[in-house]
Amino acid sequence: MLVTCPQCPRSPVYWSQSCFRHIPDAEKAKWREDVIQDVYYYGGVNVPFTECDFAGMDFKKANLSRSRLERTNLDNCNMSETVFIEADLSEASVKNAKLYKANWSECKLDGADLTGANAERANFEGTDMKAVKCNGLDGRHALFHGIVAAGSSFAGANLADAIFTLADLTQCDFSGANVARADFSGANLAGANFKGALGLSTVITDETTISRDVLDTA
């Protein structure tokens, strides 16, 4: 039988019989503190955190693999070197967060907002990130191999030396982005927008995809 919050159809969150919305406001600060302690002591693998508000909290080097973080607020969090393998962060807000060397491989990030986040050297390999906002993202040396990112925006992002090999980047917006030495070999860039992008002459492509044609017409 599906377990739901006593006050609404949402699922309960970690260590609560209620969804986050219906945890009493006076108890939320203590609940967050307990979550942080448990994540570091026991690990946060396969934990339900749907629609929680963790804005500004420190999850550095935590393991949140396979956890449920849909529509969760992670703005301004420190998640450097945090592991999110196979986690679901659909429609999560991760604006201005520190994601340095974080592992997001095989995640679900569809509809998420990573505007202004620092994802330098982060690993997004094989992640679903359709219609994601990555405007102003610092993605230098980040690994985006095999991502499915149709309709996502990387406008104004710093993607120098990033790897987008075999990625689905159809209809993506790279306008004003720094793509110096980025590798788009095997990527699908149909309908992508590189207007005003920097470093186009140094981008790496191959002869088997449409990557070069799209870049040359930017």
Number of continuous H segments (helices) and E segments (strands) in the chain = 2, 0
pLDDT score of 208: 66
pLDDT score of 215: 74
Burial category of 2 from C-beta neighbours within 10 Å (exposed 0-12, middle 13-18, buried 19 and up)? exposed
pLDDT score of 143: 98
pLDDT score of 44: 82
Distance (Å, whole) CA 60 – CA 63 = 9
User: pLDDT tens digits for the chain (218 residues)?
Assistant: 458 999 999 999 999 999 999 999 999 999 999 999 999 988 888 999 999 999 999 999 999 999 999 999 999 999 999 999 999 999 999 999 999 999 999 999 999 999 999 999 999 999 999 999 999 999 999 999 999 999 999 999 999 999 999 999 999 999 999 999 999 999 999 999 999 999 999 998 886 665 666 777 67
pLDDT score of 214: 74
Q: Which one-letter amino acid corresponds to residue 3?
A: V
186 in Cβ contact with 168 (< 8 Å): no
User: What is the CB-side half-sphere exposure of residue 158 using CA atoms within 13 A?
Assistant: 10
For 94, the token pair is: 């991760």
Count of residues making up the chain: 218
